[in-house]
């Protein structure tokens, strides 16, 4: 028995021995798990969700801007209990002028049927080149809002009534970036919301990428005569940003005072950000995926109105891989995958690099310590041939253990000197229990057996049947909608959580015991 389980609470603070971590034992090969019914059915345009993320590559600028792609956001815009879908549009060029492609909003009518509400997004000053989506009720008015990341700016979209005098006309998203103090000229890839200082208002972390522009646009190739998108090592990393929510609809940038790491040629270059409680104190930590440089982990030591973070990635073992190398990290999630009550970290990386499963071993002197479990868990069986982006934990087969999906697609334009290597198959990993995973892509249906230029993905129950669905963004190709298929003979339970009339804060948990084994789910921000 298992389902989407989220909630409020604090987990216990387990302590571990200070003795050295035992060496990782090489696991036996983990073979494909092809038994059992399909877990997904591809629906796509049949739902009314039709979108294509554009990166502008047809202009042949070969800019690194084109490589990141876009994410997907799920938001219950009108509070009808059905998740709506928000998709970034990306961008294009006129000469060397960068222009945005409008984002799309799809209203959920139920039974996996959607209608286009894109005209309900009111953007100030025209569209910009967009990448990511992060959803939160930033002003605590009981309505979910959204933030869009991208090149040169972000957009804070407040959930407002179409007509305040007539609530029946529904809701819209209105650009409040300028009024809120979130104007930034940086290039942000992703964002995470979470109440860091305990005042009840979600604060905002922006993962910023590289110092690129057409005035900083080198020519690159990869062992062939074919020019291509330059790698991140050619650019300085940008300063990540942290905004304190003042509680009055405005924000203040506090990154330097809070303790954020400085940028550089060998630092920063953020692609994914996640807020999750890793030490069991009920307050979210921040984990950040960086491209080809060390990842960040910030322990939350904040007080009300005063955000203070402690950099802890190197000390905890989550900055690099098991050989001490920084990786091209892109996707991130966290889960209590082995049901110990502790939340571990999962990171997807570039090709020829191992993906990272950092197991949470508990606390030493009150701080979380992690160990590398990619090989011992069986995940290494998926190999290192993928460039992996969107990812997430979820119990797809309702056996009580959280499985993994990984969306893949090459970052450069001409891998191997041609376009044939751009598309890659996604991967499904089934949690066998006991800390072990097996490849299970054959059970993912048609989508997991074909190649795509995959990037971001959103996971949620779009039709409220207990089975989690996927919406996936592809570069220069239509996105995909995958309906989760409820397993027969198993049950699920869901929780609708609120705190003083608004959405529950990041870091909250629901814990229960099933078949004598503890189980927990946590509200997370970003990813």
Q: pLDDT for 427-478, tens place per residue?
A: 999 999 999 999 999 999 999 999 999 999 999 999 999 999 999 999 999 9
In a domain, 156, yes or no: yes
Q: Which three-class secondary structure state does DSSP give residue 458?
A: strand
pLDDT classification of 45: cutoffs 50, 70, 90:
confident
**In whole angstroms, what is the distance from residue 106 CA to residue 437 CA?**
35
In a domain, 69, yes or no: yes
Mean pLDDT of the 108-112 span? 98
Contact 259, 220 (CB under 8 A): no
In a domain, 141, yes or no: yes
CATH of the domain at 236: 2.130.10.10
Q: If we measure between CA atoms, which residue out of 147, 122, 150 comes closest to residue 203? A: 147
Least confident stretch, 3-12, 32-41, 167-176, 285-294: 3-12
Distances (CA, A) of 103 to 53, 77, 108, 117, 509: 9, 15, 16, 10, 32
In a domain, 23, yes or no: no
**In whole angstroms, what is the distance from residue 308 CA to residue 320 CA?**
24
**In whole angstroms, what is the distance from residue 304 CA to residue 295 CA?**
27
In a domain, 1, yes or no: no
Which residue range is the domain that position 299 belongs to? 40-112+121-526
**In whole angstroms, what is the distance from residue 266 CA to residue 236 CA?**
7
In a domain, 2, yes or no: no
Residues found in the chain: 527
Q: Into how many domains does the chain fold?
A: 1
**What is the pTM assigned to this prediction?**
0.94
Helix (H) or strand (E) holding 105: strand 104-110
Q: pLDDT for 263-308, tens place per residue?
A: 999 999 999 999 999 999 999 999 999 999 999 999 999 999 999 9
Report CA dihedral (72, 76, 77, 79) to the nearest 10 degrees.
Answer: 180
Residue 100 pairs in a beta bridge with 91
Question: Percent of the chain beyond pLDDT 70?
Answer: 93
**In whole angstroms, what is the distance from residue 520 CA to residue 39 CA?**
22
**In whole angstroms, what is the distance from residue 99 CA to residue 85 CA?**
23
Q: Which three-class secondary structure state does DSSP give residue 37?
A: coil
pLDDT classification of 102: cutoffs 50, 70, 90:
very high
In a domain, 4, yes or no: no
Q: What is the pLDDT of residue 149?
A: 99
């Amino acid at each position: 028995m298992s389902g989407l389980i989220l909630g409020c609470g604090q987990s216990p603070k387990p302590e571990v021995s200070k003795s050295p971590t035992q060496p990782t034992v090489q696991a036996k090969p983990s073979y494909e798990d092809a038994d059992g019914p399909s877990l997904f059915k591809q629906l796509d345009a049949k739902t009314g969700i039709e979108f294509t993320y554009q990166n502008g590559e047809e202009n042949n600028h070969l800019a690194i801007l084109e490589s990141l792609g876009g994410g997907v956001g799920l938001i219950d815009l009108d509070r009808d209990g059905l998740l709506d879908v928000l998709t970034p549009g990306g961008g294009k060029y006129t000469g060397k002028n960068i222009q945005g492609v409008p984002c799309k909003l799809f209203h959920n009518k139920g039974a996996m049927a959607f209608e286009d509400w894109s005209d309900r997004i009111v953007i100030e000053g025209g569209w910009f080149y967009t990448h990511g989506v992060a959803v939160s009720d930033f002003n605590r008015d009981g309505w979910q809002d959204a933030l869009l990341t991208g090149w040169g700016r972000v957009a804070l979209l407040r959930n407002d009534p179409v007509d305040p005098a007539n609530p029946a006309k529904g809701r819209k998203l209105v650009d409040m970036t300028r009024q809120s103090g979130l104007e930034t000229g940086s290039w942000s890839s992703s964002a995470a919301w979470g109440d860091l200082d305990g005042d009840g208002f979600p604060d905002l972390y922006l993962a910023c990428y590289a110092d690129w522009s057409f005035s900083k646009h080198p020519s690159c190739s990869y062992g062939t005569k074919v020019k291509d998108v330059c790698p991140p090592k050619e650019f300085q990393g940008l300063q990540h940003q942290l905004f304190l929510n003042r509680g009055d609809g405005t924000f203040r940038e506090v990154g330097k005072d809070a303790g954020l790491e400085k940028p550089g040629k060998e630092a920063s270059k953020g692609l994914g950000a996640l807020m999750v409680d890793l030490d069991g104190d009920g307050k979210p930590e921040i984990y950040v995926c960086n491209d080809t440089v060390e990842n960040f982990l910030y322990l939350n030591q904040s007080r009300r109105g005063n955000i203070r973070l402690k950099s802890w990635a190197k000390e905890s073992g989550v900055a690099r891989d098991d050989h001490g190398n920084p990786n091209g990290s892109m996707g991130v999630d966290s889960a209590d995958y082995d049901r110990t009550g502790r939340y571990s970290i999962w990171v997807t990386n570039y090709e020829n690099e191992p993906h990272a499963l950092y197991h949470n071993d508990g606390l030493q002197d009150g701080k979380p310590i992690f160990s590398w479990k990619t090989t011992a868990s069986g995940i290494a069986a998926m190999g290192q041939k993928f460039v992996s982006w969107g990812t997430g934990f979820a119990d797809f087969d309702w056996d009580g253990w959280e499985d993994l999906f990984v969306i893949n697609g090459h970052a450069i334009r001409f891998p191997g000197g041609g376009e044939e290597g751009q598309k890659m198959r996604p991967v499904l990993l089934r949690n066998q229990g006991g800390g072990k995973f097996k490849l299970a892509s054959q059970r993912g249906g048609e989508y997991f057996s074909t190649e795509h230029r995959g990037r971001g993905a959103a996971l949620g129950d779009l039709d409220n049947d207990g089975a989690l669905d996927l919406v996936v963004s592809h570069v220069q190709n239509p996105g995909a909608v995958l309906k989760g298929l409820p397993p027969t003979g198993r049950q699920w339970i869901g929780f609708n959580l609120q705190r003083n009339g608004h959405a529950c804060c990041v870091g909250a948990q629901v814990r229960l015991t099933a078949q004598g084994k503890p189980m927990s789910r946590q509200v997370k921000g970003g990813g």
